[in-house]
Structures are given as C-alpha cells and as structure tokens.
A and B are shown apart, each in its own frame.
Chain A
Amino acid sequence: MSAPFLAQYGSEIGTLTLEHLWLTGAAMLFAAAVAIPAGIWLTRSPRWAKPVIGVTNVLQTIPSLAMFGFLLPLPWLGERAARIAIIALTAYALLPILRNTYAGIRGIDPTLMEVARAIGLTDLQRLFKIELPLAASFIFAGLRTATVTCIGIATIAAAVGAGGLGELIFRGVASVDNRLVLAGAVPAALLALIADGALGLLEKRFKVPAPESARS
C-alpha cells in the first residue's frame, strides 16, 4: 500500500479498527456474562445441557448476513446498527463459551470433587477454588474461539451500517478497489491473530499440570 493511500485512509482505518474492537469487545463481554454462568448452571442441571447447548448451536448455524437482516426490523434494536451488531455477535459467541465452560467443569476428575465435598468446602468455595480454576484453561479456549470468530463476523456488520472494518471491505468491493478491501481485511486479520495469541497465552497459563495418576 502506497504512502499517499495511507495518508488518505490512515486515520479512517484507525477509527474503524477501534469501532471494530468495540463491537467485538462488547459482544464478548455480554456473551461471557451470559454463557459462563449458564455453563455453570448446566453442570448443576445436566438434563438441560442438551437442549440449551442445542439452541446455541442453532444460533451458530444462522448465516451472519441473514442474522443481521432478521434483527433489523426489531423495534429497539433497529434504531442503532451497533446494537444489532453486538446482539448478533453475542449470539455467535455463546456456543463456544457455553460448551467449553460446561465441558471444562464436567471434565474435572470426580474424585477431586468428592474430596472437595468431603473436606467441607461449601458450594461457592468449590466453584471458585476448585471448579473454575481447574476449568479455566477450557473456558479461555472457548473465549478464544468465540473472539476470533466474532472478529471475522463483525466485518459483515458493516452491511447493516454498524461500522467497523467491514466498512472499508464493502466499499472496496463496490468500487472494485482492492486496496480498500485490504485496508479492511488486513487489520481485521491482525486483530484476530492478536486476540488468538493473547487468549492462547491465558489458556496456557491456566493449564493444570498432568493429573497425578499419570505419574504414579
């Protein structure tokens, strides 16, 4: 990309990147706030696990352009395109976070959970001292998948006028200007790579050492 191009679009790329980050970040916060507690709840009521995870699975299969379209006519949401984008992205982020929270906690060695009860930890102590730390690596893996997916899908949010880097891509496609397409696509790809790396580090940081039985 040439210097004059960057001079012309540089600040716009910056603003749109921030917008992109804000859309994805807000959606991730909402999704985590819903999906982590829901995943914990499912481990307590496993008979709901299949239907609930099923619903989030269905959400995931809706083509993103269609999802943005569906939300457009809704009363409060339709007023601001960013609202639509955040709700849609949240819906896409639910499944990986929910599934990994559920699987991470369910996968804890039952002996450990029995000991945690037997030594007199309360329900909350078991959750915060044992279950969440032991499942943390799984939960971060879910957040990572969700974030990377959402950064990609967020580019499509520009179709309903929600802004973000998709804006440049759509404009580039319409005016057959590959430089504009790249100006949107490259920062979006970089954002995804950075998020992937950073959350990957967290995932590794919380990895629990091999179970003790493996070495005895």
Chain B
Amino acid sequence: MSAALEFRDVSVVTASGRALLQSVSMAIEEGSVTAIIGRSGSGKTTLLRTVNRIIEPASGEVLVAGSPERDVVALRRRMGYVIQETGLFPHFTVERNVGIVLEAEGHSMAERAGRTRELLQLVGLDAATFGGRYPHQLSGGQRQRVGLARALAAKPRILLMDEPFGALDPLTRAEMQDMLRELLARVKTTVLLVTHDLDEALYLADRIILLSDGKVVVDVPRHEFLNSDHPEVISYARAFHRGQTRVAGEVHSA
C-alpha cells in the first residue's frame, strides 16, 4: 500500500519559540485509520493542523499523496475536517452546512441536494426531517453526525478528526463510534484521528501513535499498543478502566 500522507521531519514552533512538534517523521498508509493520542499539549492537534495547513511547519514538510500541494484551497477541499465543537455554521440549515464545500466548488443546487440526502442517510439522519433544521435545533450527537456528513461531502481522500466525540456523553459517543466504524468500512478513506480516549483509539484505529512533548514516542499497530513497555503507555493503561479494576477488587475481597 502507498502512503496517503507523509510527514518528513516536521517541526512546529510558536511565535514565542516553544517547540510544539519536533522532527516528526512518519508515513500514513492509504485507507488506514491512525489514532494520535497523548496528553493535552503533546502536539496532537498541531500535528493534525499541519496536514490541512492551518499551521505551517517551521521546517520539514507534509506530503499528500506523495507531493507537497501548493494550492492550499484545493488541498483543503480534498480533506474532511471534523472537530469536537463541530463548527457548524449557525446561520445555515443542516442541508446547506453539509453542502457548503460543494457550494464553494460551484456545483449545481440539484447536485448538492442529491449528495446531501445521500450523506445524511450515510450518517443516520433522515434528510426530510433534519435537512431544514438549524444547528441549534439539534442534539450534540446529531450535530456531530452533520459535521461528519459535511466532512465527507467532497469525497475526501483524507479525513482529519480532532476529538470528534469528546464532548458527547458516553452512550452517544459509543453510538457514534459504531456508526463511524461502519461508515469507514464503506467509504474507503484515510483517517487521522486525534483523541485522548484510549478506548476510542483501540476501538477505531489500525495504528496508534503516542505523542509526548511534540515527539512520537510510540508508533505501533493497535494490537501491540497495550504490550508496549513505554512508561507513558503503562500510565495510560493504568489510567484506563481504573473504576472497573476497583470494583473487581471489591467483589473479590467481599
């Protein structure tokens, strides 16, 4: 399989000189789901934003499909972008939010309407019911579905997701994760998923990358992650399912 995305020695420095990413190099396979995990401030979101050039690296480059893209607008239109706050435009209906990328590209109204219906169905929303609503009339989970539909509108080769389900309650989050997994099996796209939820990373990703202080410290296939003896992986695993471990202990000692 070829690399859909390649980071070559990418470093990002803030205006005040703090290094957010330090010489990150890696290749992301076409059609794979890669989770980027790490503490807050470890550089996860920064890494994601170098891909759609919201952030320009101080040195190094990010190659998309093997070449550095010069036309930023064209590059961004070929990438889906989903964030925790969804970023739905409050003055647009659901339908227009989903179709905005197609609108920007000059597709006809009929084309947009057809594609929007298709996409809403794909994320489990009925176009007739939800198409005319505004974002403030939707629940958190529904908004996130619309955000995902918008990201998929232009049939992106790469889907960038930044804590997409971070603001949802655990049950809705689980539903969304199931929906996303099912959806990704159908639309073959390369996914870069930033999350701080280890469970989500293990459930959705093929490969897990752990960032710490702007550096890649672990980069392994999903099934090897918990076997890693890296101290940060160990603390991650310890922090994970603590409640369950405690209850299990109480049951044993009772």
Interface residue ranges, A against B (CB under 8 Å)? 111-112, 114-122, 125, 129-130, 133-134, 208-216
Contact = CB atoms under 8 A, between A and B. Distances in A.
A212 B88 contact: yes
A153 to B, nearest CB: 34
Nearest to B86: A212
Nearest to B73: A120
For the residues of A in contact with B, the DSSP-based class is helix
Shortest 8 CB-CB contacts between residues of A and residues of B: A115-B87, A120-B76, A120-B77, A118-B81, A209-B136, A216-B140, A212-B135, A208-B90
Contact of A117 (B54, B83, B134, B167): B54
B143 interface: yes
Interface of B: 52, 54, 73-77, 79, 81, 83, 85-91, 100-101, 103-104, 134-136, 138, 140, 143, 150-151, 160, 167
Contact of A111 (B77, B87, B150): B87
Nearest to B105: A120
Contacts, number: 75
Nearest to B96: A129
Contact of B81 (A115, A129, A212, A214): A115
Given A118-B76, A130-B89, 9 more contacts: A112-B89, A119-B101, A129-B103, A134-B91, A211-B90, A212-B86, A212-B90, A212-B136, A215-B136
Nearest to B134: A209
Contact of A213 (B85, B91, B100, B104): B85
Nearest to A213: B85
Contacts of B74: 120
A18 to B, nearest CB: 37
Nearest to A123: B73
Contacts of A111: 83, 85, 87
A209 B136 CA distance: 7
B54 A210 contact: no
B52 to A, nearest CB: 5
Tell which of B90, B103, B135 has the most Cβ of chain A within 10 Å. Answer: B90
Contact of A125 (B81, B104, B138): B104
Contacts of B54: 114, 117-118
Given A120-B77, A120-B104, A122-B104, A115 B91 contact: no
Contacts of A115: 81, 83, 87, 89
A133 B134 CA distance: 15
Tell which of B91, B134, B135, B140 has the most Cβ of chain A within 10 Å. Answer: B91
A117 B73 CA distance: 8
Contacts of B104: 119-122, 125, 129
Contacts of B136: 209-212, 214-215
Contacts of A214: 136
B87 A112 contact: yes
B76 A119 contact: yes
Nearest to A118: B81
Contacts of A134: 89-91
A116 B89 CA distance: 9
Contacts of A125: 104
